[in-house]
Amino acid sequence: MTDTTRPGHGPRHRAAVLGSPVAHSLSPVLHRAAYRAMDLTQWTYDLFDVDEAALPSFVEGLGAEWAGLSLTMPLKRAVIPLLDEISETAASVEAVNTLVFTEDGRRVGDNTDIPGMVAALREHGVEQVDSAAILGAGATASSALAAMSAVCAGEVVVYVRSADRAAEMRRWGERLNVDVRTADWADAAEALRAPLVIATTPAGTTDALATAVPGRPATLFDVLYHPWPTELAARWSMYGGAVVSGLDLLVHQAALQVERMTGRAPAPVDAMRKAGEHALASRE
């Protein structure tokens, strides 16, 4: 294969993930697996611990060999002022997890978390649901709401701990054209009866809900991936419900990044998932 190049410059074949902290990131494992499977032998993917203060100088210092960057916390919003262009998807949630350098040197920001969520759900047979529930109200919850605009035909109930977060989620719903209702976290067990439940909370937060899983659960999308399974996901599977994991999300969002950065499609999702599973198993 021939690398995409900028006019008058050498091959663009470098990419990396930035964040702080970032040492735990699976992105290098996933992207490198894709490069191997796609025979992109000249491509490299690295990892750099970069915080908000250091981001502008880091980006300015990149040469013409750079094709793109993956961005994790706390950089998803901090990168926006550095962009020449931002996709509608990224702008809708004010979060960029993918920076692509075009052939003429422009910086284009995108968000693959949202279509990655949709792709992960569809891989598990979830094309559309009549209603859904979201556990939590952080940054991942807003991405989940954006994904629901493509998946959920009716109401999305978001379970939150504070009035401020409830108001924020209702504002996101209005912005994303999603019918949002908020409910108190104390009633979160009611969420588990929804056709689709998306858990966006930190590790351990939903453990207490495991005993409330109904006898015939539908689909749980738990965005965590380590340690896995969570108590909620384990009980959900035991009762016969479908479970979409955080690794599914990571793989699909990374696959979209690979395609945008390399200009080649489709990305090898199966090879990327196997590499991710192997890496997680080695962390046990």
Which residue numbers are catalytic? Answer: 76
Angle at 95 between CA 91 and CA 101, to 5 degrees: 80
Q: Strand, coil or helix: what is 108?
A: strand
- Distance (Å, rounded) from C-alpha 135 to C-alpha 62? 39
Per the CB < 8 A criterion, the answer to whether 168 and 137 are in contact is: yes
Query: Omega of the bond prior to 28 within 30 degrees of 0, cis?
Result: no
- Distance (Å, rounded) from C-alpha 188 to C-alpha 279? 33
Which residues are 86's β-sheet partners?
109
Rounded to whole angstroms, what are the CA distances from 172 to 78, 137, 224?
19, 10, 22
Place of tokens 């916390």: 73
- Distance (Å, rounded) from C-alpha 6 to C-alpha 130? 46
DSSP string for 60-94: HT--TTEEEEEE-TT-TTTTGGG-SEE-HHHHHHT
Which residues are 15's β-sheet partners?
45, 68
Question: Phi and psi of 30, rounded to 5°?
Answer: -70, -45
